[in-house]
Structure 1
Amino acid sequence: MKYLALPLILLLSACSSTNNLSSSYFMKDMLDTAPKSDADVRHPEWGYPSKRLTTGVQSPAMYRTPSMDHTPTQARPNAAPASRGVNSDSLQNFLLQNGVDYEVLPGNHIMVKLKNTVRFDTGSSTVKSESRHWLDIIGRYLSSQPDVNVVIDGHSDSTGTTAFNDGLSVRRANAVKQQLIRNHVNKNAIFTRGYGENVPTCTNATTAGKACNRRVELVFIVSDS
């Protein structure tokens, strides 16, 4: 019996060594590829657990909705106060005064998402004229707000191939970025992403629905400082 036990012990010992070696190898690989510290990630705090913000805008789900998909109107002198922070107050009051629909998103940072979206023709990455006007207004304002980062998300409808739409959504996001830069917004404060046809907000079964999905969305992330 003891002659059988010895090989078994050796076998178990070898398996244990192999497992330890394998574990050490994969752990080393993970540590080599993972960010070493927060300094290696441009905005690590964006990934923190969400927390809901309070706001002075009295409407459901923290929406400000004077109307949907319209060109900004004349300034409104009696705009409601916005949420905490001087920069956030300034941004939200600016949007209110210019009739730009927005919502405040929950999160570790103050994030303001525009409900007005930048529009495009089928297959095109040229910003439509009705969107260009209010985008220029926003760009001129953001040029004086160094503590506001801009996240630009490009989207497409389902016309064309998936590969084409992926690239088109990126070009649309970049077109909006370039327009903001022309209005002197700091290019290092602008981040672009393309989602292709994967995140529709309307049906792609109708002409109107496809027009709705040909869009760029903007989110402003405001510094707490």
Structure 2
Amino acid sequence: MLRIISLCTSLLLVGCVQHGGNLLDTAPKTKSDTPYPTFEDPYTETTEQENTTDATRALTGPNGELKDDDMRKVSEQLTDLGVVYHEVSGDQLVISIQEKVHFSSAKAELTPLATNLLDKLISVMSTKPELALVLDGHTDVTGNPIKNQNLSEMRSNEVRRYLLTNKLNASQLYSRGFGEYLPLCDNETMLGRKCNRRVEITILKIHW
């Protein structure tokens, strides 16, 4: 079932709903408040089938393959390309790219360093339509919170636009913005604010 994320943009996953009041009041305050999207399985089972298959469905795909096998291969490709990542274990293996796409203050323009990272991800993703990239935009605390929310969405959408231009499928890309509410670094310093102006990228598998 799709999880509902508090901050909804025009390019968020289908199923987002707007909460009453000021959206900024319900903005996520920690990383645990911004879970990775989950994806509906179009195949529906009866209660009896669910009871007999739950134990194995968590580990295997429709043909009995281990669910993490393909993601392990992706990890190997990323390593070969020099992309640093962190593996997040759960119901499925999720790959969090450690290198961030950073931006100048008040800007949403990609740098050559950013496009270099994105090109590496494209080389992996272009042949794997079963994978998705989740793009999470963030800002520092400089300026108005509402403008920062819009800017975070612009940043994630700019990454999405570049990936679409370079032949990735729209169904593989999910962009979100979290404004200034999830800093990685101290906003009291110039380097800290630079660190917080970013798009974080996560790879997960959406089709088995």
- Which amino acid letter does the alignment assign opposite residue 182 of structure 1? T
Unaligned runs of 5+ residues in structure 1 are 1-32, 34-40, 46-82
Match of 1:87 among 70, 73, 83: 70
Match of 2:147 among 164, 174, 184: 164
- Which residue number corresponds to residue 43 of structure 1? 39
- C-alpha distance in structure 2 between counterparts of 1:148 and 1:224, whole Å: 7
- C-alpha distance in structure 1 between counterparts of 2:71 and 2:158, whole Å: 26
Normalised TM-score (structure 2)? 0.67
- Which residue number corresponds to residue 146 of structure 1? 129
- Which residue number corresponds to residue 123 of structure 1? 106
- Which residue number corresponds to residue 203 of structure 2? 220
Deviation at 1:223, TM superposition (A): 4.5
The answer to whether the 8 Å contact 1:118/1:215 transfers is: yes
- Secondary structure at the aligned position of 1:141 is classed as helix
The answer to whether the 8 Å contact 2:131/2:205 transfers is: yes
- C-alpha distance in structure 2 between counterparts of 1:107 and 1:124, whole Å: 35
Q: Deviations over 1:50-100 (max 9, x none)?
A: xxxxxxxxxxxxxxxxxxxxxxxxxxxxxxxxx964421221011111111
- Which residue number corresponds to residue 9 of structure 2? none
Identity of aligned residues (%): 28
CA-based RMSD of the aligned residues comes to: 2.5
Structure (1 or 2) with the larger CA radius of gyration: 1
- Which residue number corresponds to residue 13 of structure 2? none
| Structure 1 residues 109 and 224: alpha-carbon distance in aligned structure 2, compared to 1, 3 A threshold | farther
- Which residue number corresponds to residue 137 of structure 1? 120
Normalised TM-score (structure 1)? 0.62
- Which amino acid letter does the alignment assign opposite residue 166 of structure 1? Q
Q: Deviations over 1:134-154 (max 9, x none)?
A: 211211321111110111100
Count matched residues: 151
Unaligned runs of 5+ residues in structure 2 are 1-16, 18-36, 42-65
- Secondary structure at the aligned position of 2:105 is classed as coil
The answer to whether the 8 Å contact 1:119/1:215 transfers is: yes
- Which residue number corresponds to residue 188 of structure 1? 171
| Structure 1 residues 167 and 158: alpha-carbon distance in aligned structure 2, compared to 1, 3 A threshold | same
| Structure 1 residues 223 and 86: alpha-carbon distance in aligned structure 2, compared to 1, 3 A threshold | farther
The answer to whether the 8 Å contact 1:136/1:179 transfers is: no
